[in-house]
Amino acid sequence: MTALIAKEIRSFFGSIIGYLVITVYLLINGVFLWIFPGDFNLLDAEYASLRQLFTLSPWVFLFLIPALTMRLFADEKKAGTMELLLTKPLTDWQIVGAKYLAGVLLVFFALLPTLLYFYSVYQLGNPVGNLDIGGSIGSYLGLLFLGAGFVSIGLFASALTDNQIVSFLLGVFLCFFFFYGFDRIAGLDLFGTADLFIMNLGINEHYTSMSRGVIDSRDLLYFLSLIALFFGATRLVIQSRKW
């Protein structure tokens, strides 16, 4: 399993697409947070905060994480190596788990350079260090869980097809629906007292809660359940090839 994780990471960094995806993520965040004037610009803010980063990043992840995951299974199917992979001394859970963990590690690598933003805002505070460190740590944890959830969704989309473009588009749609779709449905006020329940089915509600710096067990349970749901669905798709 460890060898499969290492293979996926080597494959990612062995292609221009891997570096391009991480560069695009940092570039989009960089120009909005430091260059373009507006609500997202950190220098235009009245106080030292990384709120803008944690507001912008989920929308960037909506596109970049499906771009990261689109090849994980789709490429194996297209290249005809999926059957070979299934004959290795690995269970379906281990195969899906290795691909998933590789995707989460790539998200983690993409987030690491943003610690420079944290350091910069920390130094720009008046006085230096006038930054809600606890809230920032909670927000980073929330963003990591959100990214892990998107990886599980993108992995499921990749398992459904051998076409990377279809995998990407399906991954974007599912990530968008789970992130924002339930909020929109609840906002229609069609279900009365059930609207709050519907809103809590969406990722945004729980991510926003964690972004306040409050680590609630209900939010952690939600993300773990979401990951387990798509993890199991992916395994079911992979297992169906043996039927």
pLDDT 10s digits, 105-128: 888 988 888 888 888 877 776 777
| Distance of alpha carbon 231 from alpha carbon 242, whole angstroms | 18
| Distance of alpha carbon 150 from alpha carbon 153, whole angstroms | 5
Which of 72-81, 160-169, 205-214 is predicted with the least confidence, judged by mean pLDDT?
72-81
- The radius of gyration computed from the CA coordinates of the chain, to the nearest angstrom, equals 19
- The pLDDT score that the predictor gives to residue 173 is 95
Six token digits for residue 155? 């992995």
pTM reported for the whole predicted model: 0.90
In the chain, what percentage of residues exceed pLDDT 90? Answer: 26
| Distance of alpha carbon 207 from alpha carbon 226, whole angstroms | 13
| Distance of alpha carbon 135 from alpha carbon 151, whole angstroms | 24
Tell me the backbone φ, ψ of residue 40, rounded to 5 degrees: -90, -10
Six token digits for residue 231? 């993890």
> What does each C-alpha distance from 54 to 90, 118, 165 come to in angstroms?
37, 11, 28
pLDDT, one tens digit per residue, over 45-97 is 666 677 888 888 899 999 999 988 888 888 777 777 777 777 777 788 888 88
Domain extents for the chain? 2-242
| Distance of alpha carbon 47 from alpha carbon 42, whole angstroms | 9
> What does each C-alpha distance from 179 to 61, 209, 223 come to in angstroms?
11, 13, 12
Six token digits for residue 123? 């130094």
Tell me the backbone φ, ψ of residue 100, rounded to 5 degrees: -65, -50
